[in-house]
Amino acid sequence: MRNYDLEFLKRFSMVIGFLAAITIGLIVIAFFLHRSLPGEVSPTAAKRTQSRIAPTGAVYAGATGAAAQAAAQAAAAAAAAANVAYGGTLDGKTIYDQLCTACHTTGVGMAPTLTASGFGARAAKGKDTLYKHAIEGFTGPDGGIMPPKGGNPGLSEEQIHATVDWMLEQSK
């Protein structure tokens, strides 16, 4: 090898070594910077936190406040109407199959089954009592439990009436 070739290799090796040292230094700096940044918060966790710390009410004052209060009530009513269970169907069988069948076919929680003996004593109390117990919930003297609206707060009273009527027809 010639002298100038050795000189070139020596300088080239020094440049490559210098660049490798800079690269390793940048990697170490990036690692420490990355560890010092706070972790990202998932959108669902942020949404849960916002709902937890959101105010529970509002103060409305004067004419402007009355209009804002009326708008808030209208928005709440529209949101409640949009959350109607099972597409708002009034088919008692559909609601029974999707919600009530878990307890009323096996007798879980002392629930009456769809037989004349199961619903006999309860049917004797009258439809209004059954509607009331289905809507508000009921704990019987025998320890039987009926959750309010069958455990689905999205059910409307009309849907509950239709389901109770269907169940009474099936238990005859």
Report domain extents, the chain: 1-30, 86-170
What pairs with residue 145 in β-bridges? 139
State how far the alpha carbon of 92 is from the alpha carbons of 34, 100, 155, in Å: 58, 10, 12
Which residue's structure tokens are 């959101």?
54
Q: Which residues have CB under 8 Å from 106's CB, separation 6+?
A: 113
The yes-or-no verdict on residue 15 having pLDDT over 90 is yes
What is the distance between the alpha carbons of residues 98 and 55, in angstroms, rounded to a whole number? 35
Can you tell me the distance from the alpha carbon of 72 to that of 86, in angstroms, rounded to the nearest whole number? 26
Residue 169 has pLDDT above 90, yes or no: no
| Mean pLDDT, rounded, for 91-103 | 86
Note the pLDDT of residue 72. Answer: 82
**Residues 92 and 158: beta-carbon distance below 8 Å:** no
Beta bridge partners of 138: 146
- CB-based contact 90:159 (threshold 8 Å): yes
* 130 touches 123 (CB < 8 A): yes
Residue 164 is which amino acid? Answer: V
Task: Give domain 86-170's CATH superfamily.
Answer: Cytochrome c-like domain (1.10.760.10)
Position with higher pLDDT, 61 vs 71: 71
The phi and psi torsions of 146 (rounded to 5 degrees) equal -120, 115
- Whether the model clears a pTM of 0.85, i.e. scores above it, the answer is no
* C-alpha span between 36 and 47 (Å, rounded): 25
Mean pLDDT estimate for the chain: 84
